[in-house]
Chain A
Amino acid sequence: MEKEQFAKLASFNKFALTPAENERLSAALDTALDFLVPLRDWQAGDTPLMVYAAGIAPVYRTDRVEKIFSREQILANAPEEAEHCFAVPRVAD
Chain B
Amino acid sequence: MAYEVVIGLEVHVELATESKIFCSCANNSAAAANENVCPACAGMPGLLPVTNRAVVEKAIAAGLVTNCHINRVNTFDKKNYYYPDLSNSYQITQLYAPICTDGYVEIETEAGSKRIGIKQIHMEEDAGKLLHDDLAGISMVDYNRCSVPLVEIVSKPDFRSAAEVIAYLEKLRALLRYAGVGHCRMEAGLMRADINLSVREKGDEKLGVRTEIKNMNSFAAIQKAIAYETERHIDAIEWDEPLVQETRGWDAVKNESFAMREKENATDYLYFPDPDLPPVIIDEEWIERVRAALPEMPDAKQARYQADFQIKRKEAAQLVASPNLAAIFDAAVAQGAEPREAANWLLTEALACAKKAGQSADELQLDPQKLVVLLAELKEGRLTRPNAKLVFAAIFEEDAEPLAYIRAHGLDQVADDSAVRELLTQIIAANPKSVADFRAGKTKALDFLFGQAMRELKGSGDPKLIRQLLNELLAQ
Q: Do A and B interact with each other, yes or no?
A: yes
Interface of A with B (CB < 8 Å)? Answer: 12, 14, 51-52, 56-69, 71, 74-75, 80, 82-91, 93
How far is A35 from B278 in the complex, measured between Cα atoms in Å?
Answer: 31
Nearest to A75 among chain B residues (CB) is B34
Interface check B24, CB cutoff 8 A: yes
Contact of A63 among B19, B138, B249 (CB under 8 A): B19
Nearest to B273 among chain A residues (CB) is A51
User: Is A61 within 8 A of B24, CB to CB?
Assistant: yes
Interface check B35, CB cutoff 8 A: yes
Q: Which residues of A contact B279 (CB under 8 A)?
A: 52, 58
Q: Which residues of B contact A69 (CB under 8 A)?
A: 37-39
A-contact 0/1 string along B66-90, CB 8 Å cutoff: 0000000001000000111000000
Interface check B225, CB cutoff 8 A: no
How far is A91 from B137 in the complex, measured between Cα atoms in Å?
Answer: 9
Nearest to B260 among chain A residues (CB) is A93
Q: Write 5 A-B pairs (CB below 8 A) sorted by A numbering.
A: A63-B18, A65-B19, A67-B25, A68-B38, A88-B138
Q: Which residues of B contact A52 (CB under 8 A)?
A: 275, 278-279
Q: Which residues of A contact B140 (CB under 8 A)?
A: 82-83, 85-87
Q: Which residues of A contact B52 (CB under 8 A)?
A: 60-61, 63
Q: Which residues of B contact A71 (CB under 8 A)?
A: 32-35, 37
Interface of B with A (CB < 8 Å)? Answer: 17-19, 24-27, 32-39, 42, 50-56, 75, 82-84, 130-134, 136-143, 249, 260, 268, 270, 273, 275, 278-281
User: Is A86 within 8 A of B136, CB to CB?
Assistant: no
Given contacts A58-B280, A83-B33, contact A74 B24 (CB under 8 A): no
How far is A62 from B17 in the complex, measured between Cα atoms in Å?
Answer: 11
User: Is B131 within 8 A of A64, CB to CB?
Assistant: no
Most buried by B among A12, A14, A60, A84: A60
Q: Which residues of A contact B35 (CB under 8 A)?
A: 71
User: Is A61 within 8 A of B50, CB to CB?
Assistant: yes
Q: Which residues of B contact A61 (CB under 8 A)?
A: 19, 24, 50-53
User: Is A87 within 8 A of B36, CB to CB?
Assistant: no
Q: Which residues of A contact B270 (CB under 8 A)?
A: 12
User: Is A90 within 8 A of B134, CB to CB?
Assistant: yes
Given contacts A60-B52, A64-B24, A91-B130, contact A82 B82 (CB under 8 A): no
How far is A58 from B51 in the complex, measured between Cα atoms in Å?
Answer: 9
User: Is B82 within 8 A of A85, CB to CB?
Assistant: no
How far is A93 from B252 in the complex, measured between Cα atoms in Å?
Answer: 14
Q: How far is the CB of A75 from chain B (nearest CB, A)?
A: 6
Nearest to A86 among chain B residues (CB) is B141
Number of cross-chain contacts by CB at 8 Å: 115
Nearest to B137 among chain A residues (CB) is A90
Q: Which residues of B contact A60 (CB under 8 A)?
A: 50-53, 56
Nearest to B31 among chain A residues (CB) is A71
Q: How far is the CB of A4 from chain B (nearest CB, A)?
A: 14
User: Is B32 within 8 A of A59, CB to CB?
Assistant: no
Q: Which residues of B contact A75 (CB under 8 A)?
A: 34
User: Is A84 within 8 A of B34, CB to CB?
Assistant: yes
User: Is A91 within 8 A of B38, CB to CB?
Assistant: no
Q: Which residues of A contact B131 (CB under 8 A)?
A: 83, 85
How far is A87 from B42 in the complex, measured between Cα atoms in Å?
Answer: 13
Contact of B18 among A51, A58, A64, A90 (CB under 8 A): A64
User: Is B139 within 8 A of A91, CB to CB?
Assistant: yes
User: Is B137 within 8 A of A85, CB to CB?
Assistant: no
Most buried by A among B37, B136, B138, B281: B138
Given contacts A58-B278, A58-B280, A67-B36, contact A89 B51 (CB under 8 A): no
How far is A89 from B169 in the complex, measured between Cα atoms in Å?
Answer: 36
Given contacts A82-B136, A83-B140, A89-B137, contact A74 B38 (CB under 8 A): yes
How far is A45 from B263 in the complex, measured between Cα atoms in Å?
Answer: 33
Q: Which residues of B contact A86 (CB under 8 A)?
A: 84, 140-141, 143
Q: Which residues of A contact B137 (CB under 8 A)?
A: 89-90
Q: Which residues of B contact A74 (CB under 8 A)?
A: 34, 37-39, 42, 143
Given contacts A51-B275, A59-B51, A60-B52, contact A87 B33 (CB under 8 A): no
How far is A88 from B51 in the complex, measured between Cα atoms in Å?
Answer: 30
Q: How far is the CB of B27 from chain A (nearest CB, A)?
A: 8
User: Is A57 within 8 A of B278, CB to CB?
Assistant: yes
User: Is B33 within 8 A of A65, CB to CB?
Assistant: no
Q: Which residues of B contact A66 (CB under 8 A)?
A: 19, 24
Q: Which residues of B contact A89 (CB under 8 A)?
A: 137-139
Nearest to A57 among chain B residues (CB) is B278
Q: Which residues of A contact B50 (CB under 8 A)?
A: 59-61
Given contacts A86-B140, A87-B140, A89-B137, contact A65 B75 (CB under 8 A): no
